[in-house]
Amino acid sequence: MLGNFRLSARPVPLPGSRARPSYNRSALALACLLACNLWLDAARAQTAAATSGEGDRDFSHMALEDTVFSRARPEFETEGLMLEDLLWEPLKYWGMIPQDAEAPALIGSARVFVNVTGETEYDDNVYRARNRRSDIIYRLRPSADIHSDWDNGSLSLQLAGDFAHYGSLTDEDYADISGKLIACTEVGAAGQLGGDLSLARKKEQRGAIEDLGSLFGPTIITIKEGALRAGYGFPDSLFGQVEGKLRQLTYTADGVDRSSDDRLEYELTGRGGWRSGEGSTLFIEPRYSASMYERSADSFGFQRDAKK
């Protein structure tokens, strides 16, 4: 039987922190449970007050979970940086645009949210094999979200990276990057139309089903994806939504394209249900998905799926 464990440490600034006193675990768990229940009741009351009178305009949202951490908490959210201050004002300063030029509405309404996380991990079985090789991994995860809200729509550009350096097994170093463009607009009084385009390059986890087992470097997957979704809110708090996705996956290892694993994936999802005024949702969600592997010639010259 193979097994492995991974330890991760994240630097978290704690100004004025002191040594942690010892507590009775049962008493501490009971106190935390009571505090969470009180906080949850307050969050429910706040959410009900904030959403009263909105009708069926939020029909396309996912079912709300009964936890404070999944709820929108505007009083604790960062305000972000104005894109106009980061882009438009420097162009004026350098004389590239007139001083009295006004920023386009798209730039003037956009905010930038930036996040950087550093991690140190210890993995006692990097290759997920009987011949164990352990190593320390240093990771840096930057991300940026440029978000613009309008009266009847929104536009968002999300960029993220995951850069890892192995202390000894440097052939396993990788740089995962991704970008996603998301758009959404209201159609009529109770309709909504949206879609997104994304491009990602990521490393496959060692030992995973789709890891090609290369000894000279990790398996790299390039993912291109597009999605369209539409929904409508009906009377009596009923709603319906449909979403279609198309995804292309390309695998490479040692710099060589492994076409036998390349494929297209299709996914069609429908959702219909009822949403109460207290934030609860009851719905059914049928889903159909299919995969089509890259076709190649067999020994008789016939074109067949590479996996057949």
| Position 49 in a domain | no
pLDDT reported for residue 171: 83
pLDDT tens-digit profile, the chain (308 residues): 444 444 444 443 333 333 333 334 444 444 444 444 444 444 444 444 444 444 444 444 444 444 555 566 666 666 788 888 888 888 888 988 888 888 887 788 889 999 999 999 999 888 888 888 899 999 999 999 999 988 888 999 999 999 999 999 888 889 999 999 999 999 988 899 999 999 999 988 776 666 766 665 678 899 999 999 999 998 888 999 999 999 999 988 766 666 677 899 999 999 999 988 777 889 999 999 999 987 665 555 555 555 54
In a domain, 1, yes or no: no
The total of other beta-carbon atoms located within 10 Å of residue 142's CB is 15
Residue 17 in domain: no
Which residue type, as a one-letter code, is found at position 158? Q
Distances in Å between the alpha carbon of 141 and those of 49, 238, 297? Answer: 37, 40, 42
Residue 161 located in a structural domain: yes
At residue 37, φ and ψ (nearest 5 deg) are -65, -45
Tokens of 65: 């979970």
Does residue 203 lie within any of the structural domains? yes
At 274, is the secondary structure helix, strand, or coil?
strand
Q: Is the dihedral of CA 276, 280, 282, 285 positive or negative?
A: positive
Q: Counting beta carbons within 10 angstroms of the beta carbon of residue 44, is it exposed (0 to 12), middle (13 to 18) or buried (19 or more)? A: middle
What is the structure's pLDDT at 149? 86
Is 211 within the bounds of a domain?
A: yes
- 94 part of a folded domain: yes
* Residue 92 maps to a domain: yes
Q: In terms of residue numbers, what domain contains 191?
A: 56-305
Copy the structure tokens of residue 9: 């440490």
Total structural domains within the chain:
1
What global pTM score does this model have? Answer: 0.66
